[in-house]
Amino acid sequence: MQYTLDPADLQAVWLTLKLASVTTCLLLLIATPLAWWLAHSRKWYKGLVSALVALPLVLPPTVLGFYLLLVMGPHGLVGELTSAMNLGRLPFTFAGLVIGSVLFSLPFAVQPIQNAFEAMGKRPLEVASTLRANAWDRFFSVALPLARPGFLTATILAFAHTVGEFGVVLMLGGNIPGETRVLSVAIYGHVEAMEYGAAHLLSGGMVLFSFVVLLGLYLAGGSVNKVAR
In tens, the pLDDT along 168-202 reads 999 988 888 888 999 999 999 989 888 888 888 89
Q: Is residue 113 part of a domain?
A: yes
Q: Is residue 84 part of a domain?
A: no
User: What is the spatial distance between Cα 168 and Cα 199, in angstroms, rounded to a whole number?
Assistant: 20
**Among 90, 68, 169, 154, which residue's Cα sits nearest to residue 117?**
154
User: What is the spatial distance between Cα 155 and Cα 123, in angstroms, rounded to a whole number?
Assistant: 26
Q: Is residue 1 part of a domain?
A: no
Q: What is the pLDDT of residue 212?
A: 86
* Domain membership of residue 198 as a residue range: 7-63+91-228
Q: What is the pLDDT of residue 141?
A: 83
In tens, the pLDDT along 17-57 reads 999 999 999 999 999 999 999 998 888 899 999 999 999 99
SS3 at position 181: coil
Q: Is residue 73 part of a domain?
A: no
Total tally of structural domains belonging to the chain: 1
Q: Is residue 169 part of a domain?
A: yes
Q: Is residue 86 part of a domain?
A: no
Q: Is residue 215 part of a domain?
A: yes
User: What is the spatial distance between Cα 62 and Cα 73, in angstroms, rounded to a whole number?
Assistant: 16
Instruction: Give the domain CATH number at 199.
Output: 1.10.3720.10
Q: What is the pLDDT of residue 136?
A: 83
Q: Is residue 12 part of a domain?
A: yes
Spatial contact of 176 and 96, defined as CB atoms under 8 Å apart: no
Q: With a threshold of 0.75, does the pTM exceed it?
A: yes
